[in-house]
Chain A
Amino acid sequence: MEPVLRIADLDKSFGGLTVIDNVSFDVERGSRTALIGPNGAGKTTIFNLLTGVYPVDAGAIELDGQDITHIPAKDRVAKGMSRSFQNIRLMPHLSTVENVMLGQHARARGLGQQLFPVGFFPRNKWAAQAREALETAGLGTYPGQVVADLPYGIQKRIEVVRALMAEPTLLLLDEPAAGLNNQETDELQQLLRQVSERGTTLLVVEHDMHFVRNLCNHVVVVNFGRKIFEGTPAEVNADPAVREAYLGTDQSMADAPLLADPMAAGGDDHAA
């Protein structure tokens, strides 16, 4: 089957600094793929290239068999790709439901949809769909709230729901579990499994290796802007290059179980 996403020979540098160096990988349809790597490896930059935040220097991005390398960022969501952000990027002055409804924007095409006063009719189908999605995600108690007041873990999940509202074929999640407690992480994982079962392909940047091993069936490892490994979570655990990237070459660390180490979490990647 044709992959949902095909990245070929991607290059990106900022000034003299090469951030992404000849990265290629495919994301299989229906898979739950993780993109991992140490801090500063270029994971978020790859997301930003995929979504069109930055133009690529060289290489090609294909979504669903369509070349999207050079189409503007605003048109990519309609091609079937939406994302969440490493740092929460909800609209602080909008309510929860309105934030989620922003995710529907690309589906509400046409002047009639754009000029229909959704705000006057709280029961219209768009708002109803947004509320239902929030409820499915276990966030049903919070509609009408201004999101800035909500706890971090809730906001983090609202971001995922907002991205889902675009009904993407490929959902890009940038550290969705960062900063969540164990229960919230479990709930998020359940939500993502449901999403995956409904046929959406997931590409997840995540530092929490436990989360990656539980959720994902395919792992791409990058370091210093290069792909250094690709395989199943179990294979990643055994690969010496990956171990070196994460843990260094110190032989006394050689037996440490890499994928069970949640301490690698946190820290900053390239700015989103």
Chain B
Amino acid sequence: MSGELEGLLVILCLNTIYAYGVFLPAASGQLNLGAAGFITLGAYCSAWLNSAIDGLGFPIFASIPLSVLFAGAIGFIIAFPILRTRGVYMVLATFAFAEVVAGLVINLEFLGAAQGMPVDAHMPFIGTGLGSLLDAIGLPLASGKDGDPFIGLALVTLLVVIFCHYLMATRFGLAMRSIHDDENVATLFGVNTRMSRVWAFAVGAALMGLGGALYGHHFNYVEAQNFNVLLSIYILLYVLLGGTQTAWGPVIGAVFFTFVPELFRSLGQVTGEKWLEDGRFVAFGVLIVLMMVVRPEGVVTRTLLERLTGGRKRAETGAPAQTAG
């Protein structure tokens, strides 16, 4: 596997984990523009816990789970005030939270302040036995070195995807989706709407903390300025364009956003059309607007899945497939 592709896949994995962190609250109807804040929390927490000089020198297997718990706990606590706001005000509140986190980190000397912080341990290859197994069956992902850190990241990402699919398949997931559609009716059927939304927000925060911690251990350096509002916006876009109706949305959104700009660049390089390469973000922006027009509920919807799996008999109703809301 080429280094360039691997680099891209690493970004894709991280983006996917972040996206699920924003997806969980979004599936219950809450827009979280504070992704960067939770990623910062996770990244710095794990970096500090792991650092032998500045921090506690915990091994990576302790520092990552602890930073997940930390980001989740902060998410849980701030969910109570933030979830009192609605719509655009919630977007602003979560954005403000991320700004506060960035402001704090930049002013904390023991976290390296504005310079950022080196991260000691590199993302390990999870399970050497698995590595040799992958080598044995000739999977190109295992490059034969004594540990390709990408495999570990890919496995964690896969677990996150499975976990979120599981969560959406539970009654808790059903409650979340009901709250998204009609909070008042959900309440009347006994759903504790407040706590469901708080937990969705908190578990999402924990996932973003996980993404942040993995980022740190992969690139071995964390810098608060890297986790800026543009990142939060992109992650929210992955989720909204991917679709919040099913747990497939975030991964589709992350794949799209990670690969399409690169695709434009490669296309520009191959065809020699320099405007494609230079103007790829313009083209990308146009594409986003077009997607919003054509698929206002995101690329992956329930109806689409039903149609793909053939579980649907359109002849019976003939009603339009898309609905507002």
**What are 15 sample pairs from A and B whose C-beta atoms fall under 8 A apart?**
A51-B188, A74-B187, A77-B188, A91-B181, A94-B174, A94-B178, A102-B175, A102-B189, A114-B172, A114-B175, A115-B172, A145-B306, A148-B323, A149-B319, A150-B319
Closest-by-CB residue of A relative to B324 is A92
Contact partner of B169 among A102, A117, A144, A166, CB < 8 A? A117
> In the complex the two chains form, what is the Cα distance from A77 to B187 in whole Å?
9
> In the complex the two chains form, what is the Cα distance from A148 to B319 in whole Å?
9
> In the complex the two chains form, what is the Cα distance from A98 to B321 in whole Å?
18
Is chain A's interface secondary structure helix, strand, loop, or mixed overall? Answer: mixed
Chain A 148-165, CB within 8 Å of chain B: the 1/0 string? 111100000000001000
Q: Is B173 an interface residue (CB 8 A)?
A: yes
B274 → chain A closest CB, angstroms: 44
B325:A92 contact, CB within 8 angstroms: yes
Extra inter-chain contacts (8) besides given A89-B185, A92-B325, A93-B325, CB under 8 Å: A52-B188, A74-B192, A82-B188, A93-B180, A101-B171, A105-B171, A149-B319, A166-B190
Residues from chain B with Cβ under 8 Å of A78 in the complex? 190
Contact partner of B170 among A82, A95, A115, CB < 8 A? A115
A91:B170 contact, CB within 8 angstroms: no
A149:B168 contact, CB within 8 angstroms: no
A92:B181 contact, CB within 8 angstroms: yes
Closest-by-CB residue of A relative to B186 is A102
> In the complex the two chains form, what is the Cα distance from A32 to B171 in whole Å?
32
Q: Is A207 an interface residue (CB 8 A)?
A: no
Chain A 75-107, CB within 8 Å of chain B: the 1/0 string? 111100011010001011111001001110110
Within 8 A of B (CB), among A93-135: 93-95, 98, 101-103, 105-106, 108, 113-120
Chain B 157-183, CB within 8 Å of chain A: the 1/0 string? 000000000101111111101101110
Contact partner of A150 among B180, B181, B182, B317, CB < 8 A? B317
B185:A91 contact, CB within 8 angstroms: yes
Q: Is B295 an interface residue (CB 8 A)?
A: no
Is chain B's interface secondary structure helix, strand, loop, or mixed overall? Answer: helix
Contact partner of B182 among A91, A101, A113, CB < 8 A? A91
- Using known A-B contacts A91-B185, A148-B323, determine if residue A119 contacts B173 with beta carbons closer than 8 Å: yes
Closest-by-CB residue of A relative to B323 is A148
Q: Is A141 an interface residue (CB 8 A)?
A: yes
Q: Is B122 an interface residue (CB 8 A)?
A: no
Closest-by-CB residue of A relative to B175 is A105
Residues from chain B with Cβ under 8 Å of A52 in the complex? 188
Give the total of A residues in contact with B, Cβ under 8 Å: 44
Residues from chain A with Cβ under 8 Å of B180 in the complex? 93
Residues from chain A with Cβ under 8 Å of B323 in the complex? 92-93, 148-149
B242 → chain A closest CB, angstroms: 15
Q: Is B312 an interface residue (CB 8 A)?
A: yes
B177:A94 contact, CB within 8 angstroms: yes
- Using known A-B contacts A73-B187, A77-B188, A150-B317, determine if residue A114 contacts B245 with beta carbons closer than 8 Å: no
Q: Is A53 an interface residue (CB 8 A)?
A: yes
- Using known A-B contacts A74-B193, A146-B302, determine if residue A119 contacts B312 with beta carbons closer than 8 Å: no
> In the complex the two chains form, what is the Cα distance from A115 to B169 in whole Å?
9
- Using known A-B contacts A53-B188, A77-B190, A144-B306, determine if residue A113 contacts B316 with beta carbons closer than 8 Å: no
> In the complex the two chains form, what is the Cα distance from A99 to B316 in whole Å?
19
> In the complex the two chains form, what is the Cα distance from A106 to B187 in whole Å?
10
B182:A108 contact, CB within 8 angstroms: no
A133 → chain B closest CB, angstroms: 15
Residues of chain A touching chain B, judged by Cβ–Cβ distance below 8 Å, are: 51-53, 73-78, 82-83, 85, 89, 91-95, 98, 101-103, 105-106, 108, 113-120, 141-142, 144-146, 148-151, 162, 166
A74:B191 contact, CB within 8 angstroms: yes
Q: Is B107 an interface residue (CB 8 A)?
A: no
Closest-by-CB residue of B relative to A78 is B190
A63 → chain B closest CB, angstroms: 14
> In the complex the two chains form, what is the Cα distance from A111 to B182 in whole Å?
23
> In the complex the two chains form, what is the Cα distance from A74 to B169 in whole Å?
22
Closest-by-CB residue of B relative to A145 is B312
Contact partner of A166 among B175, B189, B320, CB < 8 A? B189
Chain B 76-88, CB within 8 Å of chain A: the 1/0 string? 0000000000000
> In the complex the two chains form, what is the Cα distance from A105 to B173 in whole Å?
12
> In the complex the two chains form, what is the Cα distance from A118 to B182 in whole Å?
21
Contact partner of B191 among A51, A92, A105, A151, CB < 8 A? A105
B154 → chain A closest CB, angstroms: 23
